[in-house]
């Protein structure tokens, strides 16, 4: 996913697990979160639930990118988009653009 965004002016932050992902969402105030469901220490479902339940992070668009095919659950929990892996570069960039990440230009390499 990082390689898909490397040509854009977007700064990418990485989390090693769900606990770190939630902490980054709270402290870094990102423009968007790309979230996998399979994460150690705290799964993506819990991260998504907590991001959307916290007034400080609830407005952050969350794009789920996962091998787990549970789009209805993700959307019900508040995901802005739900992409199945393997994720195509254009699908990720389109999802980010549609949900608030204007720094990703159209036709970005």
pLDDT given for residue 8 in this prediction: 72
76-95 confidence digits (pLDDT tens): 999 999 999 999 988 998 99
17-34 confidence digits (pLDDT tens): 999 999 999 999 998 999
pLDDT given for residue 104 in this prediction: 52
% of the chain beyond a pLDDT of 70: 91
59-78 confidence digits (pLDDT tens): 999 999 999 999 999 999 99
Q: Is residue 18 one of the residues assigned to a domain?
A: yes
Looking at residue 40, the DSSP 8-state letter turns out to be S
Q: What is the pTM of this model?
A: 0.89
Q: Radius of gyration (Cα) for the chain, nearest Å?
A: 13
How far from the centroid of its chain's Cα atoms is residue 71's Cα?
A: 14
Domain range for 31: 2-97
Residue 62 sits in a domain of what CATH number? 3.40.50.2300
pLDDT given for residue 64 in this prediction: 98
Q: Is residue 104 one of the residues assigned to a domain?
A: no
Q: Is residue 108 one of the residues assigned to a domain?
A: no
Between the CA of residue 3 and those of 28, 33, 80, what are the distances in Å? 21, 15, 21
Q: Which comes out higher in pLDDT, residue 4 or 53?
A: 53
Query: What total number of domains does the chain contain?
Result: 1
pLDDT given for residue 109 in this prediction: 43
């Amino acid at each position: 996913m990082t390689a898909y965004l490397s040509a854009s002016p977007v700064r990418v932050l990485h989390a090693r697990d769900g606990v770190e992902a939630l902490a980054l969402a709270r402290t870094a105030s990102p423009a968007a979160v790309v979230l996998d469901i399979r994460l150690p220490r705290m799964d993506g479902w819990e991260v998504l639930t907590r991001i959307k339940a916290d007034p400080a992070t609830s407005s952050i668009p969350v794009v789920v990118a996962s091998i787990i095919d549970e789009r209805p659950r993700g959307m019900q929990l508040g995901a802005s988009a739900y992409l199945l892996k393997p994720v195509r570069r254009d699908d990720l960039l389109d999802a980010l653009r549609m949900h608030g990440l204007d720094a990703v230009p159209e036709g970005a390499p």
